[in-house]
Structure 1
Amino acid sequence: MSRYAVETLKQDGLTVIKLSDSFSGSIAELLPEVGNNLYSFTTDGREVIKTSISLATLKNEKFASSKYGTPVLSPPNRINKGTFSFLERTYHFPINEPPDYHLHGELSVRAWEVLDCGASDEQGAWVISQLRYGDLPDILDYFPHSLTFTITYRLLDGKLSMDSCIKNEGSGEAPFAYGLHPYFSLPYESDPNLTLQVPAKAEWPITNLSFVTGRPAITELSEAIQQGIALADYPELGCTLLTIDPESDFINRLVLPNAGYTIAYQLDAQFPFVLLFRPSWDQAFSIEPYTYVTDAFNLPYEHELTGAQGIKAGEERRITTSLWIESNT
């Protein structure tokens, strides 16, 4: 009998995909109907990602799908006035965060189609889901590019990987911006010595809404966080934007000394930026990998610095992240 299994369940009237690994005691649960959200991940009895509201609330409450679990974002964060230009075309995204912003795109609120799932000793437990802009005329009205997003979640040897494949199936080059927003469950009250390690190269000056106000620089924080900073005093709703050191291993770590384990989150080199964020509504912390800095197409800096870029017709991007826990001993 395989150590791995995949199940399709019903909860709160919604379809849940459950991946499990009996040897490592790992369970990953996804909600394809609500943004393909990885809303729960436990391993060895440790809650790594935990959603503290019902799945019905996650689906029906405005903004809930971007406040819990693992929202998938395109474009990530905010667009000022919902407007930017790329290759002589001006885009007008809907204002979904009053008074002046478009926030986080459409991927986290849309239903995804499950293409395949399975389990084997060699391949682990996996599920493949997809969302196609070509099937969504309301998105094509303001973003006329047939992008297709295909995500494979795979649980193998206690590690959970997320492979994102983004393909431009249209005829013209499209602006490209992609990010993730995992909320890692942290026991702030019982583990006051929590620390965060990020292989940072520089810090961007930003507003409290994560808009960039200047060029990145080496700062006291960007240097200290390489070895680890305490999270006890990190302010609720506080945010920090960092460029990752391209010569690093791209592994971020949340260290829980009292609990005796560390959450390890490895990014792809195609995610050169991370936004750090502590929510006020849950006991969690976010390490958000982005392909670009917030609202990059509206910044007066070179695109090589900000990550503003395009994806050509027929082009495909693959971006992989991995998540696991390590023993502190």
Structure 2
Amino acid sequence: MSQRYRIERRAEDGIDVLALSDAGTDSIVELVPAVGNNVIRFRSGGREALSPPSRIGALQQEKDAPFRYGTPILSPPNRVKKGIFHYKGRTYHLPLNEPPDHHLHGELCSREWEAIATGASDEEGVFVTSRFRYADHPDILSYFPHPLSFEITCRLKEGRMELSGTILNEGEDAAPFAFGLHPYFSIPFGQDEEVTLQVPAAAEWPVSNLALVQGRPEPTELSRSLNEGISILNYPVLGCSLLSLGGGTSDCRIQLGDYSIRYRLGPELPFLVLFRPDWSDSFSLEPYTCATDAFNLPYEPELTGAKGIAPGEALSFSTLTWVEEQ
């Protein structure tokens, strides 16, 4: 048994919370498998990196709360116009959960996941692996007839939180695939201290205020400036930007005075949405496998990221978050 790494389970508002801790760096991660497998807290060295709900029960009791705090898991990410898209000759009708017009963020972020493995050791750190299978949810299969299986591991080691996972197509047909994360990084916007964001952006997509694409991506002043770093103190509330990243592993940085929040994305997540909510002091960097509503865009899949998973195929992803002191 590790003296440094521990995992504890507690009930809060009747909901199980798994707490992963690293005594060596004074770090803690809190995970809620019962509501979307949401990583609601990551604190390292006394610094809060994620913005949690005011209480755990809000995740089940407040409208839209499952994708407004912590790290919601999204499939498909963002919006699908009218909830309709086409893939390989099949038409898909997703629920209009953002009435009256759109499907928003999928159901992974609100459904219950199953924690299937845990561990804590000096060699591996402390981790939880959770699973969600569409095959266990006939109501989802009724509109998305592909039994995808999601397995995601949340690991805390040496003060760094890794989210990694695989998505397996357990069915007999190729399935359209769109996946993303929506972390809300804790930002003290009410203070006078400068907040700088650095992202290895290659181009910016023109989008509406709902992040729906309105043209092809191009290098812009924003995409160029993000490589060096920009202030986000005046980024518009409820504003959003959709970026194509430069390829390969992408390192992002939010600089807050004498420390920074670092966010590293694997090459499987080459699209990034910037978003500033009006319900919390936070700022989102949302990595996606594809552009918003990718299967409805009139552009080549190589540009939009619209792709499928073949029968028996598994796709993987990874992200890494840590706090860095100056």
TM-score range relative to shorter protein? over 0.9
Q: Secondary structure at the match of 1:224?
A: helix
- Equivalence for 2:251: 251
Structure 2 residue identity aligned to 1:254: I
1:75-104 deviation line (CA, Å, top 9, x unaligned):
000000000000000000000001110000
CA distance in 2 between partners of 1:256 and 1:190 (Å) = 11
CA distance in 2 between partners of 1:191 and 1:75 (Å) = 37
Structure 1 residue identity aligned to 2:288: Y
- Equivalence for 2:281: 283
CA distance in 2 between partners of 1:102 and 1:268 (Å) = 27
Q: Secondary structure at the match of 2:135?
A: helix
Q: Is the CA contact 2:97–2:103 (under 8 Å) kept in the aligned structure 1?
A: yes
Q: Is the CA contact 1:165–1:319 (under 8 Å) kept in the aligned structure 2?
A: yes
- Equivalence for 1:42: 43
CA distance in 2 between partners of 1:79 and 1:191 (Å) = 38
Q: Give 1:22 shift.
A: 0.2
Structure 2 residue identity aligned to 1:269: P
Q: Secondary structure at the match of 2:299?
A: coil
CA distance in 1 between partners of 2:240 and 2:314 (Å) = 31
Percent of aligned pairs with the same residue? Answer: 52
Instruction: Write the mapping of 1:59-78 to structure 2, written as runs, cut at 5 A.
Output: 59-78=60-79
CA distance in 2 between partners of 1:240 and 1:229 (Å) = 14
CA distance in 2 between partners of 1:137 and 1:99 (Å) = 24
Q: Is the CA contact 1:5–1:21 (under 8 Å) kept in the aligned structure 2?
A: yes
Q: Does 1:134 align with 2:135?
A: yes
CA distance in 2 between partners of 1:175 and 1:129 (Å) = 22
Distance 1:280 1:108, change over 3 A: same
Instruction: Write the mapping of 1:184-263 to structure 2, written as runs, cut at 5 A.
Output: 184-246=185-247, 249-257=249-257, 260-263=258-261
CA distance in 2 between partners of 1:157 and 1:59 (Å) = 32
Q: Give 1:50 shift.
A: 2.5
Structure 1 residue identity aligned to 2:218: A
1:219-264 deviation line (CA, Å, top 9, x unaligned):
01100011111011101000000000015x401110002xx10000
CA distance in 2 between partners of 1:192 and 1:281 (Å) = 20
Give the alignment's Cα RMSD to 1 decimal: 0.8
Q: Give 1:27 shift.
A: 0.2
Q: Is the CA contact 2:51–2:281 (under 8 Å) kept in the aligned structure 1?
A: no
Distance 1:108 1:223, change over 3 A: same
Q: Is the CA contact 2:203–2:223 (under 8 Å) kept in the aligned structure 1?
A: yes
Structure 2 residue identity aligned to 1:169: E
CA distance in 1 between partners of 2:239 and 2:306 (Å) = 24
- Equivalence for 2:107: 106
Q: Give 1:116 shift.
A: 1.0
Q: Give 1:28 shift.
A: 0.1
- Equivalence for 1:308: 306
Give structure 2 stretches of 5+ with no counterpart. Answer: none
Q: Secondary structure at the match of 1:226?
A: helix
CA distance in 1 between partners of 2:118 and 2:192 (Å) = 37
Q: Is the CA contact 2:183–2:285 (under 8 Å) kept in the aligned structure 1?
A: yes
1:123-153 deviation line (CA, Å, top 9, x unaligned):
0000010000000000000000000000100
Structure 1 residue identity aligned to 2:323: I
- Equivalence for 1:16: 17
CA distance in 1 between partners of 2:310 and 2:242 (Å) = 27
Q: Give 1:191 shift.
A: 4.5
Structure 2 residue identity aligned to 1:155: L
The count of residues paired between Structure 1 and Structure 2 equals 325
Q: Give 1:62 shift.
A: 1.7
Q: Is the CA contact 1:6–1:19 (under 8 Å) kept in the aligned structure 2?
A: yes
- Equivalence for 2:123: 122
Q: Is the CA contact 1:191–1:256 (under 8 Å) kept in the aligned structure 2?
A: no
- Equivalence for 2:81: 80
Give structure 1 stretches of 5+ with no counterpart. Answer: none
Q: Give 1:2 shift.
A: 2.1
- Equivalence for 1:169: 170
Q: Give 1:211 shift.
A: 0.4
Q: Is the CA contact 1:203–1:243 (under 8 Å) kept in the aligned structure 2?
A: yes
Structure 1 residue identity aligned to 2:60: K
1:13-54 deviation line (CA, Å, top 9, x unaligned):
110111000010000000000000000110000000131421
- Equivalence for 1:29: 30
Structure 2 residue identity aligned to 1:106: E
Q: Secondary structure at the match of 2:228?
A: coil
CA distance in 2 between partners of 1:191 and 1:303 (Å) = 43
Q: Secondary structure at the match of 1:218?
A: coil
Q: Is the CA contact 2:53–2:70 (under 8 Å) kept in the aligned structure 1?
A: no
Q: Secondary structure at the match of 1:65?
A: helix
